[in-house]
Amino acid sequence: MQPHGGRLVSRFSNSSLDGMLAVEVSNDLRSDIENIADGIFSPLEGFVGQDDFGSIVKTGRLKSGLAWTVPIVLDLDEQAAKSARQAGEIALAVSGEKFASLKIEEVYTFDRLASAKAVYGTDDPNHPGVAKMANMKSHLVGGRIEVSKRIPQGQIRKYRKTPKDTREEMAQRGWKTVVGFQTRNVPHVAHEMLQKAALNLYDGLFVNPLIGKKKQGDFKDEVILSAYETLINNYYPKDRAMFVTLHTEMRYAGPKEAIHHAIMRKNFGCTHFIVGRDHAGVGSYYHPFAAHEIFKDYPDIEIQPVFFPAFYYCKKCLSYANERNCPHGPEVREELSGTKMRKMVSSGEIPAEHLMRPEISKLIVSFKEPFVS
C-alpha cells in the first residue's frame, strides 16, 4: 500500500532555531506537527494554505483533488499573524522550548462557523469540534514545517512508531494484508471478537488507539494504554498483532473523521480499516452508519473500509454473535459499547467476564480516576 499521495513525507531538520520569533502552541498541536513530520499526515508538509483550506471545507479534498477531510491549521490573532508574516519564518514552541520551524507562505482569515458546519455537519456550539473552531483565533497561517526536536518518548509514548517503522515491521513479518483498528476506549470482549474475526481474513491486525485530547467522561490515555497492553499480551497471537499508539486529538467529526482516520492508517501501511458504528461520533449528531456511507464518495482512497456488523452477546447462543450468524431477537442480546462500559465503570459496577476480560476490569478499577474530568 502506497502512502497517501504516493510518498511518505519526512520533515526534520538540524537547523538552529536561535534568534527566530517564537510562537507558542499547545501540546496537542505539537503532536500533530510531529505527525506531519513523520508522514502520518502525508501528503501534508505543514499547515494548509487558503486554497487547500477552502477545498477541504467545501469538498473534503485538497485543491489537487486528493482526499483530505480535516483541515490541519495554525491559528493566530491578528497581531501575531502580522509579526509572523513580517518574520517570514518562525519557531514553534511549547512552554518556551522551541522544537520546530514554520516557513510562512500565507496568512488568511476564515469564517469559523461556516467552516465548522462544513467539517462537522452542524454549527451547534455544544458539539466539541464546533466549540473548538468557534474559539479559534482570527487568522490562519499556512506553510511548511521542519521539526528539530522530537517530543520525549516517555511512558505514554512508548508504543508510538512512525509509518517508516510500521511499514518495515509489516514487511519483516511478511504481512501482505493488514487491517487497522481505531479506538478511543478500553477494550471490551465484543471489540476483541471483532478484531479476531478480522484476523481470520487478513495477515495482520494493527491495533492503533488514539492518545490525545478527549472529551470529559472518556477514558484517560493511560487507562486505554494499560488495558490494551494487558489484552494483547494475554489474548493475541504475538506474530499476528501489532500495537502502536496514535498521538492526536479526537475531533468528533463523525464521517469526515472516519476518512481522516483511514488515511492515517493507510500511511502506516494498512490495506484495510475497520469502520465502526457511529465512528468518531459524539452525542446524536451523526447517523450511526454515516461513517460507512461516506466511503462511497471516496472510491479513490485505496485503503479498503471493513464494515463488520456489530457483535453482541447472545444469551441463547451463549457466545458472541452478530446478525449474520445468529437468528435470535433483541430480547436475548446483550449489546456492548464504549458508552455502556464507561457507565458501568463510573457507577462502580464490575462488568461480567463475558463482557470484559477480568484482567481489564481489575486494571480499570485500580485507577482512582479512570476518566477525563
| Cell, residue 158 | 512508548
- Asked if residue 174 and residue 69 are part of one domain, the reply reads no
- Asked if residue 132 and residue 64 are part of one domain, the reply reads yes
Q: Is it the case that residue 173 has pLDDT exceeding 90?
A: yes
Q: Is it the case that residue 337 has pLDDT exceeding 90?
A: no
Farthest-apart Cα atoms in the chain, separation: 70
At 112 the pLDDT is 95
- Asked if residue 168 and residue 143 are part of one domain, the reply reads no
Residues paired with residue 312 on neighbouring β-strands, in sequence order: 321, 335
Q: Is it the case that residue 336 has pLDDT exceeding 90?
A: no
- Asked if residue 108 and residue 229 are part of one domain, the reply reads no
Number of domains making up the chain: 2
Whether 372 is in a domain gets the answer no
Measured in degrees and rounded to the nearest 5, phi and psi for residue 93 equal -140, 155
Query: Nearest CA to 109 among 84, 60, 75?
Result: 75
What is the C-alpha to C-alpha distance for residues 46 and 37, in angstroms, rounded to an integer? 8
Q: Is it the case that residue 373 has pLDDT exceeding 90?
A: no
Whether 4 is in a domain gets the answer no
Q: Is it the case that residue 133 has pLDDT exceeding 80?
A: yes
Distances (CA, A) of 299 to 259, 293, 303, 307: 11, 11, 9, 15
| Range from 29-43, 64-78, 200-214 carrying the lowest mean pLDDT | 200-214
Residue span of the structural domain in which 99 resides: 22-147
- Asked if residue 142 and residue 167 are part of one domain, the reply reads no
Alpha helices in the chain (DSSP H): 27-38, 50-59, 78-87, 112-120, 128-134, 163-172, 189-199, 221-235, 255-268, 290-293, 338-346, 358-365
What is the C-alpha to C-alpha distance for residues 251 and 288, in angstroms, rounded to an integer? 17
Task: Write the DSSP symbol of residue 304.
Answer: E
What is the C-alpha to C-alpha distance for residues 2 and 177, in angstroms, rounded to an integer? 13
Calculate mean pLDDT across residues 270-287. 90
| Cell, residue 232 | 494483547
At 118 the pLDDT is 96
pLDDT in tens, 214-259: 778 888 999 999 999 999 999 999 999 999 999 999 899 999 999 9
At 215 the pLDDT is 78
- Asked if residue 185 and residue 303 are part of one domain, the reply reads yes
Neighbour-count burial of 215, counting CB atoms closer than 10 A to its CB (0-12 exposed, 13-18 middle, 19+ buried)? middle
- Tell me which of 185 and 172 has the higher pLDDT: 172
Prior bond of 43 cis (ω within 30°): yes
What is the C-alpha to C-alpha distance for residues 365 and 87, in angstroms, rounded to an integer? 52
Query: Nearest CA to 356 among 160, 258, 223?
Result: 223
- Asked if residue 139 and residue 182 are part of one domain, the reply reads no
The CATH code of the domain that includes 244 is 3.40.50.620
What is the C-alpha to C-alpha distance for residues 331 and 12, in angstroms, rounded to an integer? 56
| Range from 114-118, 124-128, 208-212, 342-346 carrying the lowest mean pLDDT | 342-346
At 295 the pLDDT is 98
Q: What is the rounded end-to-end Cα distance, in angstroms, of the chain?
A: 39
Measured in degrees and rounded to the nearest 5, phi and psi for residue 82 equal -65, -45
Assign 40 a pLDDT band (cuts: 50, 70, 90).
very high
- Of the three residues 147, 174, 192, the one that is the final residue of a domain is 147
pTM: 0.94
Measured in degrees and rounded to the nearest 5, phi and psi for residue 205 equal -115, 125
Please count the CA atoms within 13 angstroms of the CA of 1 that sit on its side-chain side: 31
- Asked if residue 313 and residue 184 are part of one domain, the reply reads yes
- Asked if residue 173 and residue 141 are part of one domain, the reply reads no
Q: How many CB atoms lie within 10 A of CB 52?
A: 21
- Tell me which of 70 and 365 has the higher pLDDT: 70
Residue positions annotated with a catalytic role: 183-185
| Cell, residue 310 | 456489530
Measured in degrees and rounded to the nearest 5, phi and psi for residue 174 equal 75, 20
CA 357, chain centre distance (Å): 25
Query: Nearest CA to 209 among 189, 190, 232?
Result: 232
- Of the three residues 121, 147, 173, the one that is the final residue of a domain is 147
Q: How many CB atoms lie within 10 A of CB 34?
A: 25
- Asked if residue 286 and residue 171 are part of one domain, the reply reads yes
- Asked if residue 104 and residue 227 are part of one domain, the reply reads no
pLDDT in tens, 88-102: 999 999 999 999 999
Helix and strand numbers, DSSP H then E, in the chain: 12, 16
Q: Is it the case that residue 280 has pLDDT exceeding 90?
A: no
- Asked if residue 212 and residue 113 are part of one domain, the reply reads no
pLDDT in tens, 149-170: 999 988 889 999 999 999 999 9
